[in-house]
């Protein structure tokens, strides 16, 4: 098969001037070895850059995905391994591209994690549900991952 047989023609082009999204990430679904939520965040930040759009993108990790926000030492203890947090580079890159990363305070409390256990610049919110409601009321679109 030639490349033209698999060519993609975009039937519904999208170009936004402003993106306000909150991504509620409570568990990790994978595309290969990559968490789909991190792939999707990378995809939308690429689109935002291509569109030269204004944006506020917030990812709230909670429940069974909270460990993604941990530094190596805390990650190793939480996951009972010695390899460190394999997602830290992806998180750092997303943050450089303007994504705000937050950890649910209720998830942190339930797991005994504090601010010192987090990757640099990750913030802890009161809890994922209250934060998501707050942001939706401020006009953010909720994306559930």
Q: What is the pLDDT along the chain (145 residues), one digit of tens a residue?
A: 566 778 999 999 999 999 999 999 999 999 999 999 999 999 999 999 999 999 999 999 999 999 999 999 999 999 999 999 999 999 999 999 999 999 999 999 999 999 999 999 999 999 999 999 999 999 999 999 8
Residue 7 lies in a domain: no
In a domain? residue 9: no
Judge contact between 117 and 85, C-beta under 8 A.
no
**C-alpha angle 133-37-121 in degrees, rounded to nearest 5:** 70
Token pair, residue 108, equals: 């942190």
- CATH number (domain holding residue 63): 3.40.1260.10
What is the token pair recorded at 37? 């939520």
| Residue 144 domain-assigned (yes or no) | no
Number of H helices, E strands in the chain: 5, 7
In a domain, 51, yes or no: yes
Q: How many domains does the chain have?
A: 1
Range of the domain at 84: 18-139
- The reply to whether 2 falls in a domain is no
CA distance 116 to 110: 16
């Amino acid at each position: 098969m030639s490349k033209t047989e698999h060519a993609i023609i975009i039937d519904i082009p999208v170009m936004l001037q402003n993106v306000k999204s909150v991504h509620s990430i409570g568990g990790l679904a994978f595309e290969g070895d990559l968490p789909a939520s991190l792939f999707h965040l990378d995809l939308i930040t690429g689109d935002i850059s291509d569109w030269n759009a204004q944006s506020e993108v917030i990812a709230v990790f909670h429940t069974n995905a909270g460990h993604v926000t941990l530094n190596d030492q805390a990650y190793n203890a939480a996951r009972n391994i010695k390899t460190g947090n394999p997602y830290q580079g992806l998180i750092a890159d997303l943050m450089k591209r303007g994504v705000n990363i937050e950890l649910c305070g209720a998830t942190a409390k339930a797991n005994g994690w504090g601010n010192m256990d987090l990757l640099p610049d990750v913030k802890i919110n009161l809890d994922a549900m209250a934060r998501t409601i707050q942001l939706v009321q401020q006009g953010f679109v909720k994306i559930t991952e």
